Copies of this chain bind each other. A is one copy, B any other.
Amino acid sequence: MMTRVRSAVSSIIGGIMASGSSAQEIRPDPPLRFPYSRPDFLALSPDEVECSADHISRPILILKEMKLPWAAGYAEVINAGKSPLNEDQACCEVVELRRRPADPSSPSYTPTRRRSSLPSADLLESIDSSEVKELNFHYWALFDGHGGSGAAVFTAKFLHLHIEEQLQEVLEILQNPSLQPPTCLGEENPVHHLHPSARCSQRGLSRAASLRGAAGAPGPPNTVAPRFFMEKKIKQESLVVGAIENAFKEMDAHIARERMLYSVSGGCTALVVVYLLGKLYVANAGDSRALIIRGGEIIPMSSSFTPESERQRLQFLAHLQPSLLGNDFTHLEFPRRVTKKEVGKRMLHRDFTMNGWAYKTVQEEDLKFPLIFGEGKKVRWQLNVFLLHSSLDRDCLLSHRRVISQLMMSLNKLRVLYLVWYEHGADDVMILATDGLWDVLSNQEVAEAVSGFLGNCDPDDQHRYTMAAQDLVMKARGVLRDQGWRIAGDRLGSGDDISVFIIPLMHGNSQQPQPS
């Protein structure tokens, strides 16, 4: 497993710039943005952090005294030597959303103004004491770094704050669950589209009133283009999904800015669970995985994307804008690298329009680097390797980086689960884990292991989920034998970093649960 090539789309957050930036060229040793650490909730001393990085004994770290929201369990282990540090990171928070007590009748009032400055470390202390606690969301997240731990550490510190900021923008709407999000905000809300008789009251309406009006009877929006008479009805949960999606983008931009001044190494995947108002939102960018076990049933809650799963989209991008890739890549895929002496011969290939294969006559340009190569877990997106190791002009890359990272963002598929629709028992859980677990254990094996373990625990034991997580990590890491790490069936154990959350779902049954 040491030689396993990491999924390159895992560069989703910040990975594309990886270990170098134009800022770095000017200042060879920019300061570290944050030092390496393990998750705050593990409450490790510096000595313990050092011990946790022992690649020989690979100690499994678990929660000690500290309790996580919902009594969620957590365990982790470092890799067997593929990187000096554990590049996985984790975060768990209950985040309060606050509403500022401004005057809602003011024409210029908006619930939370978009902050012109972006969240920084200062944001942690910036909460206005005049704000009133209104609503909270629960948050569990795993980040799997590669090419350095910087991006994972940074993202673990800030992503939930970006989500908070995005949710603040729609807080007033979310606080009224029966309200359909109005299409357009503002004091001049076109209420004449809703109730023709109300046109005279168009000006000077308080925003709260216009919200009610818009929600009450959305109708034909305008008379200018009568063909567009349909108005989509947007659900409240779509606002939460949009907020999380935009938080991912803001996080990406945030890292890019920090890199102008600081060293933030590598990239990372992100698997994020947000619980808000009775619903679980699962967002996944990369190859971590979330799974629900409920009444013995396995419900996959995330779809991982890899260069292979997104091949056609990546090839299409490269085909359309070869300059994005410095004109050094071919968007065509061949079963293997083409050699010079094969020019003129007919070789199997496929482009972005194809799932099958066909022969084509090899041209000189087919000798360029392939954008995607490899198969299964070994597949990688060539671009990433290239950026890490090449001398390609970095300013040029910087300007193109946004398009590529936006494309990657668009692959992030959120799932929503209504927890309130089901009466969960103590053994109904959601499992989040980085690919170190899924590389060696199937969904079925994981479900059986967790269900079996929890079935033998006291349902009232608050540590049962952490013990189950520990058991799972142990089952995937295995024990050190003469032939390396071995798991059940004498299979090879995972040599990768492994991080696992086990979250009991029974706490999410109430509409607005309290953290346990």
**Residues of A in contact with B (beta carbons under 8 Å apart):** 110, 166, 169-170, 181-186, 188-190, 221-222, 224-225, 228, 230-234, 237-246, 249, 312-313, 316-317, 320-321, 334-337, 339-342, 344-348, 350, 352-359, 362, 373-375, 378, 403, 406-407, 409-410, 412-414
27 A-B pairs whose Cβ atoms sit less than 8 Å apart in the complex: A166-B358, A169-B358, A169-B359, A181-B348, A183-B334, A184-B345, A186-B342, A186-B346, A188-B341, A190-B339, A190-B342, A221-B339, A228-B337, A228-B373, A230-B378, A231-B335, A233-B335, A234-B335, A234-B348, A234-B357, A243-B356, A245-B354, A312-B410, A313-B313, A320-B320, A353-B406, A354-B410
Give the distance in Å from the alpha carbon of A449 to the alpha carbon of B128 in the complex. Answer: 65
Q: Which residue of B lies closest to A340 (CB)?
A: B224
Across-interface contacts of A245 in B (CB, < 8 A): 353-356, 358
Would A190 and B341 be within 8 Å (CB), given that A184-B347, A336-B232 are in contact?
A: yes
Q: How many copies does the complex hold?
A: 2
Nearest B-chain residue to A233, judged by Cβ: B335
Q: Known contacts A230-B373, A347-B183; is A242 also within 8 Å of B335 by CB?
A: no
With A337-B221, A375-B232 in contact, do A355 and B414 touch (Cβ < 8 Å)? Answer: yes
Q: Which residues of B contact A345 (CB under 8 A)?
A: 184-186, 188-189
- Give CA–CA (A240, B358) in the complex, Å: 8
Choose among B228, B348, B373 the residue that contacts A336 (Cβ–Cβ < 8 A).
Answer: B228
Q: Which residue of chain B is the closest to A226 with respect to CB atoms? A: B337
Which of chain B's residues has its CB closest to A231's CB?
A: B336
Closest to A189 in B: B345
Q: A224-B339, A346-B110, A410-B316 are in contact. Are A357 and B185 (CB under 8 A)?
A: no
Given contacts A184-B345, A230-B374, A242-B356, 7 further A-B contacts (CB under 8 A): A186-B344, A224-B337, A224-B340, A238-B355, A243-B356, A245-B356, A356-B414
Asked whether A355 lies within 8 Å of B230 as measured between CB atoms, the reply is no
Residues in B whose Cβ lies below 8 Å from that of A244: 356
A412 neighbours in B (Cβ, 8 Å): 353
A430 to B252, CA, bound (A): 48
CB distance from A415 to the nearest CB of B (A): 10
Return A186 CB to nearest CB of chain B, in Å.
4
Q: How far is the CB of A13 from chain B (nearest CB, A)?
A: 14
Q: Are B356 and A403 in contact (CB under 8 A)?
A: no
- For A186, the chain B residues whose CB sits under 8 A away are 342, 344-346
Task: With both chains docked as a complex, state the minimum distance between the C-beta of A445 and any C-beta of chain B, in angstroms.
Answer: 27
Give the residues in chain B near A312, CB-CB below 8 Å: 410
Give chain B residues whose Cβ lies under 8 Å from the Cβ of A362.
184
Cβ 8 A contact of A358, one of B246, B353, B356: B246
> Is the beta-carbon distance between B348 and A241 smaller than 8 angstroms?
no
Q: Are B243 and A359 in contact (CB under 8 A)?
A: no
Contact A336 B185 (CB under 8 A): no
A337 x B410 contact (CB < 8 A): no
Is the beta-carbon distance between B222 and A356 smaller than 8 angstroms? no
**Min C-beta distance of A62 to chain B, whole Å:** 35
Q: Which residues of B contact A374 (CB under 8 A)?
A: 230
Chain B min CB distance to A346 (Å) = 4
Taking the nearest CB of chain B, how far is it from the CB of A241, in angstroms? 3
